[in-house]
């Protein structure tokens, strides 16, 4: 397992984000990693600008994730992985350290699923909405796009290779962010197009509170990426939080324990970004690679 740790800041906020765990970027027939690094940097700066101006952790993680949803290189929003029938079905979630949460699954029409998740949290009595129609989105002023908006040529080629048996279905690929703001509040957001070649209607861990996302003030905020079914079965995000809260583990110890007992024993891979209640950051994955950016200032450390 590869782990990167950033010490807690003496004062001020922390921010970490991921662009998916899995194989190397060549699976999309794009040789250069520089565009991915630039995408992560742009997303980090969007979130950091919020934090630096005194904004909330929730605003920061949503800003970062929205940038990644709009970048076709990542598996969220435009450029998302396609289902077996060639469509995009998108999932997203948000959670605050105060215990509020919202999520959307199998979203087909919203340009930015993370905005739908936040709307569910802030403007409805629900936590999870599945397949919201255009009328629902328009009622809340959310931007609607045609389904073809999400489809890119590299993803079509990827699906063709999977359906022809020339490639194994990519099991990973999600974006997410965690933050602690200047007021000590934490939040997390996660967004994905799911698994390339998945069945219509399949839902992974991303919109499941406690599996793909979790946040609790003074404890931790977590965003996960990986084999969604394993993350659901192991309740990965909550398991990390529980180790900290009930077993007095530090953040790095909690992440290692969860990976060893809940992922490795299932033969599954993935990763996560986490920020502790003190602002400490841990980025970890047991997959061959994971895109990430993390820091306690305007310029992050990047891994691609």
Active site amino acids:
174
Give helix 113-123 / helix 57-69 axis angle, nearest 10°: 150
Which stretches of 89-142 are assigned E, i.e. beta strand? 90-96, 101-107, 128-130
Using CB atoms within 10 A of its CB, is residue 212 exposed (0-12), middle (13-18) or buried (19+)?
buried
CA–CA dist 118, 11 (Å, integer): 28
Could you give the C-alpha distances from 1 to 4, 42, 237, in angstroms and in order?
Answer: 10, 27, 17
Q: In degrees to the nearest 10, what's the CA dihedral of 20, 24, 27, 29?
A: 110
Using CB atoms within 10 A of its CB, is residue 135 exposed (0-12), middle (13-18) or buried (19+)?
exposed
CA–CA dist 111, 280 (Å, integer): 32
Per-residue tokens: 259:
């990976």
Q: How far is the first Cα of the chain from the last one, in angstroms, to the nearest whole number?
A: 16
């Amino acid at each position: 397992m590869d782990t990167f740790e950033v010490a807690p800041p003496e004062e001020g906020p922390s921010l970490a984000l991921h662009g998916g765990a899995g194989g190397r970027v060549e699976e999309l027939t794009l040789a250069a990693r520089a565009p991915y690094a630039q995408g992560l940097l742009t997303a980090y700066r969007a979130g950091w600008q919020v934090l630096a101006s005194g904004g909330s952790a929730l605003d920061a993680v949503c800003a970062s994730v929205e940038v990644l949803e709009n970048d076709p290189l990542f598996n969220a929003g435009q450029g998302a992985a396609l289902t077996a029938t060639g469509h995009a079905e998108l999932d997203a979630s948000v959670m605050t350290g105060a215990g509020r949460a919202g999520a959307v699954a199998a979203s087909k029409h919203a340009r930015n699923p993370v905005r739908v998740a936040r709307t569910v949290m802030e403007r409805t009595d629900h936590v999870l909405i599945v397949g919201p129609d255009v009328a629902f989105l328009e009622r809340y002023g959310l931007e609607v796009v045609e389904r073809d908006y999400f489809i890119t040529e590299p993803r079509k080629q990827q699906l063709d290779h999977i359906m022809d048996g020339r490639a194994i279905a990519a099991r990973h690929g999600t974006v997410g962010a965690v933050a602690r703001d200047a007021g000590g509040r934490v939040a997390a957001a996660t967004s994905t197009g799911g698994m390339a070649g998945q069945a219509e209607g399949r839902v992974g861990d991303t919109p499941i509170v406690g599996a793909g996302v979790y946040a609790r003030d003074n404890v931790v905020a977590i965003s996960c990426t990986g084999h969604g079914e394993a993350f659901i079965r192991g309740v990965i995000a909550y398991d990390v939080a529980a180790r900290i809260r009930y077993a007095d583990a530090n953040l790095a110890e909690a992440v290692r324990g969860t990976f060893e007992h809940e992922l490795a024993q299932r033969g599954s891979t993935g990763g996560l970004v986490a920020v502790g209640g003190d602002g400490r950051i841990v980025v970890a994955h047991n997959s061959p690679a994971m895109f990430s950016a993390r820091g306690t200032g305007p310029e992050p450390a990047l891994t691609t």
